[in-house]
Chains A and B, each alone.
Chain A
Amino acid sequence: MSTVKSILFKDPASTESARTILRVVILLTIAAAAVASRLFSVIRFESIIHEFDPWFNFRASKYLVKNGFFDFWNWFDDRTWYPLGRVTGGTLYPGLMVTSGAIWHALRMISLPVDIRNICVLLAPGFSGLTAFATYLFTKEMKDSGAGLLAAAFMGIAPGYISRSVAGSYDNEAIAIFLLMFTFYLWIKAAKLGSAMWGGLCALFYFYMVSAWGGYVFITNLIPLHVFVLILMGRYSGRIYVAYSSWYALGTLASMQVPFVGFLPVRTSEHMAALGIFGLIQLVAFVDFLRGQVPSKQFNTLLRALVILITVVAFTGLVTLTVTGVIAPWSGRFYSLWDTGYAKIHIPIIASVSEHQPTAWPSFFFDLNFLIWLFPAGVYLCFRQLRDEHVFIIVYSVMASYFAGVMVRLMLTLTPIVCVAAAIAVSSIFDTYLEIDSPEEQEEDDSKKSKKEKVKDTTGGFLSSKAPFIGIYSVSSKVAVVAAFSVYLILFVLHCTWVTSNAYSSPSVVLASRMPDGSQHIIDDFREAYYWLRKNTPYDAKIMSWWDYGYQIGGMADRTTLVDNNTWNNTHIATVGKAMASSEEVSYDILRKHEVDYVLVIFGGLLGYSGDDINKFLWMVRIAEGVWPAEVQERKFFTSRGEYKIDAEATDTMKNSLMYKMSYYKYPSLFPPGQAQDRVRGARLPSEGPVLHTLDEAFTSENWIVRIYKVKDLDEFGRDHFAVSAFEGGKKKGKKGGLAGRAGGKRGRRVVRI
């Protein structure tokens, strides 16, 4: 037995180089698996940018590559937010675009002129390989390289992370999670070694993170929290001081170089914790220094006085600065982190985004599978050892668990720590159960006694400081546990693959369906309509649509939009909402005043596409109501029984709203009389479709998903459009019934001043 073992398992020192090679090979394999599992959409569909925000990032990257860095920095984009425009260079996180731009240039330098689109599409999978590596390094600091490899493997394929990093998902998170993990790794390294170099490196990557994602605030608060907890635990040391001070000073100065961040680190509440801890740690250091100089009795008095004085001064200072407005109060998005109902009441625009909703319970299991129940076990194991870095894991777990519960999107920050904790747990189990040797030779004859002895041993010292003796005696229990966990691991891989393939690999720009013969049929209405706009409208045409489609119109149709997914101006969005929610004569004024040429709506009624504008319509109404409570009222869109209806029972306000008219214009004629059906809302429509006076249907895509309307020019004879259509309909002006679809109110056309 022992000879076999000595052949199989040599002395660890002698096999070190073989282990290193093995580790590198395993890590490379993990990286390959991480990249490969994100390519479903490229293989199934094509190399295409997904969803909404990535289209803006892609457009910005193209701009960067075409015009160079300095033009990008000073980019004023007059093709969005018409007529306001957007100071794009100063209002974005440039990290992502600069990264892909740098890769583009680097590849070009070694004469590989890869198209910028392909770089953008494949950036997220590429960085996921690096994330796996960063997770390995991070976990290795917590336990050992075995746990590190497990964590890397988990991180590589966990759906919680894949959801934001499939090929084509060219969003800030694509690189941010790598930066998050790597910054944390560097922080742990710095805190462990008390090295200013590692602290400086940590600050450098912190800067990269700040330039890449708004979620950097998570790091900004987590590291101070870690330090604060350590101080409270009485674990202050020179190492912590050096690490934190070097990170904070360099990191904050560096982060202020990003124009979008600017002076926020010293002026907003979100960053105050870091500043406060920076002050605190100076005090602690000072007190620590005093302790060495002053006798202990006087020291206590001095300490008490100092603590009280400083707390009072700091707190009043903070309150005064907040009240006087030097420090900005918490932003709305942060309030909604503490009170999930806040956004719904005060800021409908934040609440209207599906990824800002609280997380449902099943999605934890969906995104993390068996890791979620190993997570507490891993955290528990950290409590057992509780070195400084383990405190970090505990703090991180608590914070991330809370945030993930509040906002679906923040599942992303939870995933890394779940992977790390679960890897620690699984690795501990394997360490224990995969030991080929049984613990003691005498276990067979006198196991009872030896157990007792062990109990005695462990009670000797401080409980947490001494690892309890662990050993498994029976081979069958070893086999059972190892087999069970192998099954879990295999199931995890199957689950991850299934989730990735089914839930997270749809580009959402292209919809896939099956033909009766089983072949894939692609529904490409979005691109059909966007491409029509791109090719057949003037370059300076202004397109009005709900803000969801702003980035896609900018990216694919290359036309000016009124509002887009960068929702910086609530009033402007409310204006669009009002135009959609009001009757034609009110809307026409708004459209003319904003020089709108085309209006684009998404209509899923024919195909059963549920993400259409009628389903989003109530949010438009709510947002508009927030700004014009007198003119738009949500109540008027509900029937007397409080139902949201689009069929014959719909309210007049609903039927006269521009959105309703544009969605159902001519639609009932597609069906035999009386059988018009809306397949999303399962409603039968009135056979008489709505009548439009001020808009012309310009284009409707093959499956009616995208409908584009042209805003009519002012009438040549100065009549209003209602009178024109009444006249052309062969009826006299003013005759009853000649003004079909008119909501009443003023008869004459309002004078439009532009």
Chain B
Amino acid sequence: MRSSNSRVSLLATLLLAASHLGSSLNIPQVYKNTNLLRTIDASKAYVKETIAVIIENTSDKPQTEYYLPLSVPGSSAVSYVECKDKKESTPCTAEAVDDTTDYPLRYYKITLPKTLQPKDQITLSITAGITGALTPVPAIIGQSDKQFLSYTGAKFVPNPYFTEKQKTKFRAANGEIPDYTVFEQTEKSGYIVTYGPYDNVEPWKTDAQVDEFTIRFEFTNPIIFMEKMERDIEVSHWGNNLAIEERYWMTNNGAKLKEQFSRLSWATTSYYNPPTAAIKSLLFPLRVGSKDAYYTDEVGNVSTSKFRSDSREAILDIKPRFPIFGGWNYSFVVGWNNDLPAYLRHGKGDEYILKVPLLQGPSQSTSYGKVEVRIILPEGATNVKYDSPIVIHKEERFLHKTFMDTLGRTTIKLTIDNVVDELKNRDIIVTYDYSTISALRKPLVVLASVFSLYIVTAVLGRIDLSIGK
């Protein structure tokens, strides 16, 4: 423990030293942004920032790397960054640059889908999910009051390159926008506030004064945040079953209650079902064919859930024991079964290929602090490989010992931090080898133990312990 710690800190020191040398921040001025459109979508419980930019190689050498910073002040953080060539829809990779000196900016190195020749142009579309950027203002509200959120961002899009023309669009949850900063060329129409277009914006400088805009808008939905989510995907060859269980630790990050909860006003207003910032129910759209769904929490079964599964859809609709207001917590477990053949294919020889959604979850917009996915393969599965649709932050492999196991089941545990629900319903592909002998292990062990029990009983029954005849 100690040695690994010190190794980590040594590594950190080295990295810090490297960054202070300024190698990563010395971004060569090889591009100019011909046109840049930033869209900030705050209609969900997190911010989705999309930057569509036409870049032009102004240097005389072909270029492959483009740097893009994202602003993450305070407690906000980047969940994911994805990038593609807008015209041809070819994906490109975005990689975080290990540097935090230019606070609050976080740089991403984008490898272009194709090498950009001098004077050539390419249109990139970069999407990022940013959590924690929305704060409720006022921070405490009455039980039936409207909830407002506030977002603060830079007037000019932070960018290390010269930008000829740029525009920022802010998309609120609805048209109720009581406050927004007004600069020149600011326009509000419906639920969209537009800043720009601004011409000839200079590259971002760390020390320069930054103009910021703040927008306060109504948000009638709760801000669902799962502090932690554990997901178990268990494969059973004998049971021909894929069992999925998800354990959630949920909280509402919306505005807190001004006074204590009043059941009277909750009961009287619930007849006409007004929009509320409390979490009243969660809807889990499951894969078709899901069955045997359950919903429990630490004190037992919760009876207020509905499950419908037919040939077109499977929906689990759960209602927590109590409405979850801002700052309140709730934890619960949901689980269901699927028939294995729809998810598992037999490859060559002993090889099996499993294709399951890495994340599912409620249909309401949700962000997750930490997600741990355990993929539990049958006992004796070897040579496990996987291909994940999302960046995995930590991977552990161990044997999980449970019912009737002698060795324990081969398990991989994937930890992902700071996830938004944009990333759900993407399939992970796991391949592993599983021989017939391993498959027969369980019945043989049971058979042997029952048989030995008989023998022991028979032998014991024949021992005569009486003293004298």
A contact set with B: CB distance below 8 Å: 45-48, 110-113, 510, 522, 524, 527-528, 530-532, 534-536, 556, 666, 669-670, 696-702, 704, 710
Contacts and interface: CB of A to CB of B under 8 A. Distances in A.
B405 A111 contact: yes
A48 B406 CA distance: 30
B21 interface: no
28 contacts: A45-B301, A47-B300, A111-B405, A111-B406, A112-B403, A112-B404, A113-B401, A113-B402, A113-B403, A524-B302, A524-B321, A527-B321, A528-B322, A530-B299, A531-B297, A531-B299, A534-B298, A534-B299, A535-B328, A696-B259, A697-B260, A697-B261, A697-B262, A699-B263, A699-B322, A700-B263, A704-B263, A710-B260
Contacts of B459: none
B262 A666 contact: yes
A511 to B, nearest CB: 11
A696 B301 contact: no
A669 B269 CA distance: 13
Given A46-B300, A697-B262, A531 B329 contact: no
A701 B301 contact: no
Contacts of B299: 527, 530-531, 534, 556
Given A522-B303, A524-B302, A698-B260, A532 B406 contact: no
Interface string B287-330: 00000000001111111100000000000000001100000111
Contacts of A710: 260
Contact of A111 (B261, B267, B268, B403): B403
Contacts of B259: 696
A48 B297 contact: no
A357 to B, nearest CB: 30
Interface in B364-410: 401-406
Contacts of A48: 300-301
B24 interface: no
B331 interface: yes
Nearest to A523: B303
Given A531-B297, A534-B298, A670-B267, A696 B321 contact: no
B208 interface: no
Interface in B220-274: 259-264, 267-268
B260 A696 contact: yes
A535 B300 contact: no
A111 B403 CA distance: 6
Contacts of A510: 303
Contacts of B406: 111
B406 to A, nearest CB: 7
A531 B298 contact: yes
A532 B321 contact: yes
A292 B261 CA distance: 86
B434 to A, nearest CB: 20
Contacts of A45: 301
Contacts of B267: 670
Contacts of A110: 449
A113 B321 CA distance: 29
Contact of A535 (B260, B331, B402, B449): B331
Contact of B263 (A113, A531, A534, A701): A701
Contacts of B263: 697, 699-702, 704
A46 B47 CA distance: 41
B3 to A, nearest CB: 31
Contacts of A696: 259-260
B298 A699 contact: no
A683 B161 CA distance: 78
Interface in B25-49: none
A46 B301 contact: yes
Interface string B324-340: 00001111000000000
Most buried by A among B268, B302, B402: B302
A530 B259 CA distance: 20
Contacts of A670: 264, 267-268
Given A524-B304, A534-B298, A666-B262, 8 more contacts: A111-B406, A112-B403, A527-B321, A528-B321, A531-B297, A531-B299, A699-B261, A710-B260
B401 A111 contact: yes
A27 B261 CA distance: 56
A666 to B, nearest CB: 5
A702 B323 CA distance: 10
A46 B263 CA distance: 28
Contact of B329 (A112, A527, A535, A704): A535
Contacts of B329: 535-536
Contacts of A524: 302-304, 321
Contacts of B261: 697-700
A532 B264 contact: no
Nearest to B264: A666
A111 B406 CA distance: 7
Contacts of A700: 261-264
B264 A669 contact: yes
Contacts of B402: 111, 113
Nearest to B266: A700
A45 B302 CA distance: 10
A111 B322 CA distance: 38
Nearest to B302: A524
Contacts of B404: 111-112
B197 to A, nearest CB: 48
Interface in B388-436: 401-406
Contacts of B449: 110
A532 B299 CA distance: 11
Contacts of B405: 111
Contacts of B302: 524
B8 to A, nearest CB: 31
Most buried by A among B262, B300, B303: B300
Contacts of A111: 401-406
Contacts of A699: 260-261, 263, 322
Contacts of A46: 300-301
Contacts of A701: 263, 322
Nearest to A696: B260
Nearest to B401: A111
Nearest to B262: A697
Nearest to B249: A535
Interface string B92-134: 0000000000000000000000000000000000000000000
Nearest to A512: B303
Nearest to A525: B321
A698 B261 CA distance: 6
A666 B304 CA distance: 26
